[in-house]
Chains A and B, each alone.
Chain A
């Protein structure tokens, strides 16, 4: 297996210059850097976080949460309801801490995007990129035949029996050992993040890498960007990097914040679309030992056209108990007795409500207000999937509602959902997108080449550029779009 070329890390930060500067090493940035060095060009990749091998943390969340998650895993979003937004901050970005799920962009979404926002981003044009991504990341679907992942198996089989659409999911893994701690990197090294599949390779082809360094400002002159000011968080050293072209891939929050701080006025609309994850746990009559498995192998897609999907999720005492922390400790203790009969599932929805990114005095915070339409949809789906879990053999269902209400029969659901208030929903988000969307319309910051209309050598290639909310894990789409942008750049 290829390892990273340690000589690719830059130790002397004085007088740095390059032809192509890529900021951010996640799904978009790693593809951009890889395409640049594959074409024999000179490139520097700057990452705010540090470098860790994918199995560095051996499953320890306490060690990985501070090292590889932005804001110690908890970026607060204030509103009704308040919740946490989470993303990665290390070499590999969020692909280091996600489940390695790689979907091709749905044709229907691409058709809508081409109709309203983009030009020639059709499925056929992107297919060559998806094939490349799937090969490099070793994207496969895994069966449930190994006797593990019983949580995925139960809901999959039950769904098929009821003619509900459920599918096996494509994941980037090699010999997954079912450690069930994908959010810590990968304890067995099986998950194929872009770190291993792209950046390791690029580091042997001349890519120069700077870690622990945050780009604070982009400098412009006559509609051309020429330099960035960077701060090394370990040494507090400040330095500049000069470049000919710059590709921003800092992620859905950091990219607009960097543009905003560099321009000194609001360029972006400063809103992002998100997916909302609501964790529903269930205690089954039979032993299912959900900790023996991976994040999930199947997904219920009955409502995918509406943006709602349902699947199991990583399960162990740590993440299960912390997800129901509002329960009294005696109840937590009682639930622990049934831990081998318990599993957690996620209802992921695609709200039309957006998160506002507010930036003031170099500090930012996030605001959100769930609109009535989204709230009604969440209530309907909570009800549907709680009932569904009872029909699969669950004895009790724990709802993602403040106080973590435990229900033991279907008849209780209606009453609880009826009384539910927005502020009482417990949820989190791990997918943000569309904060600086590409557009064929001249009033938007980016054109369809991913290039700024104002600054002619500035490109963006991350989740920010997706025109609207996608409704599925966006990693595959971000990577394919990054390939397409680099192709249109004519390296």
Chain B
């Protein structure tokens, strides 16, 4: 799991949501690592599969790794993935964790 990729995913997942007084500068990568350490084995492997497909699909569609995509292309990719059965459920789970992280104690 690459730090740059996960933090980029976080920023893309919460894009366009108000950013006043929220945890946007933090390190979602560390939080996700904690989550994965204790996660159910199905959730754990699902998230790894999702992150793998994130790069594969990014390479196929944009010829670049996800971490190197610009904001618009990263959003387009997530929109595309959210239409794929199974991956959309994992994306939703990751978005829930992103929102929990973003608004922690808020």
List, in ascending order, chain A residues with CB within 8 A of B15's CB: 329
Instruction: Report the stretch among B2-10, B51-59, B60-68, B97-105 that lies at the interface.
Output: B97-105
Q: Are B104 and A60 in contact (CB under 8 A)?
A: yes
Docked pose: A59 CA to B95 CA in angstroms = 20
Of all chain A residues, the one with the shortest Cβ separation from B82 is A326
Q: Does B35 contact A (CB under 8 A)?
A: yes
Q: Does A199 contact B (CB under 8 A)?
A: no
Q: Are A318 and B99 in contact (CB under 8 A)?
A: yes
Please give the distance in Å from A96's CB to the nearest CB on chain B: 15
Kindly identify, within residues 1 to 36 of chain B, every residue whose CB is under 8 Å from any CB belonging to chain A: 14-18, 31, 34-36
Q: Which of B31, B38, B40, B92 is close to A62, meaning CB atoms less than 8 Å apart?
A: B31
Docked pose: A317 CA to B21 CA in angstroms = 12
List, in ascending order, chain B residues with CB within 8 A of A61's CB: 100, 104-105
A326 touching B92 in the complex, CB below 8 Å, given contacts A75-B40, A76-B42, A336-B18: yes
Kindly identify, within residues 116 to 155 of chain A, every residue whose CB is under 8 Å from any CB belonging to chain B: none
Q: Does A66 contact B (CB under 8 A)?
A: yes
Q: Are B35 and A65 in contact (CB under 8 A)?
A: yes
Q: Are B38 and A72 in contact (CB under 8 A)?
A: yes
Kindly identify, within residues 38 to 88 of chain A, every residue whose CB is under 8 Å from any CB belonging to chain B: 58-62, 65-66, 70-72, 74-76, 82
A62 touching B106 in the complex, CB below 8 Å, given contacts A71-B38, A76-B42, A333-B16: no
Q: Are B103 and A71 in contact (CB under 8 A)?
A: no
List, in ascending order, chain A residues with CB within 8 A of B34's CB: 66, 72
Kindly identify, within residues 77 to 93 of chain B, every residue whose CB is under 8 Å from any CB belonging to chain A: 89, 92-93
Q: Does A322 contact B (CB under 8 A)?
A: yes
A322 touching B100 in the complex, CB below 8 Å, given contacts A66-B35, A71-B40: yes
List, in ascending order, chain B residues with CB within 8 A of A398's CB: none
List, in ascending order, chain B residues with CB within 8 A of A75's CB: 40
Docked pose: A408 CA to B58 CA in angstroms = 39
Q: By DSSP majority rule, is chain A's interface helix, strand, loop, or mixed? A: helix
List residues of B whose CB falls within 8 A of some A CB: 14-18, 31, 34-43, 89, 92-93, 95-97, 99-106
Starting from the known contacts A66-B37, A76-B40, 19 additional A-B residue pairs (CB-CB under 8 Å) come to: A60-B104, A60-B105, A62-B31, A62-B100, A65-B35, A65-B100, A71-B43, A72-B38, A317-B103, A318-B102, A318-B104, A321-B17, A322-B96, A322-B99, A325-B96, A325-B99, A326-B92, A330-B16, A365-B42
29 contacts between A and B (CB under 8 A): A58-B105, A59-B105, A66-B37, A71-B39, A71-B43, A72-B34, A72-B36, A72-B38, A72-B40, A72-B43, A74-B40, A75-B40, A76-B40, A76-B42, A76-B43, A317-B106, A318-B102, A318-B103, A318-B105, A318-B106, A322-B96, A322-B99, A325-B99, A330-B16, A333-B16, A333-B18, A336-B17, A363-B41, A365-B42
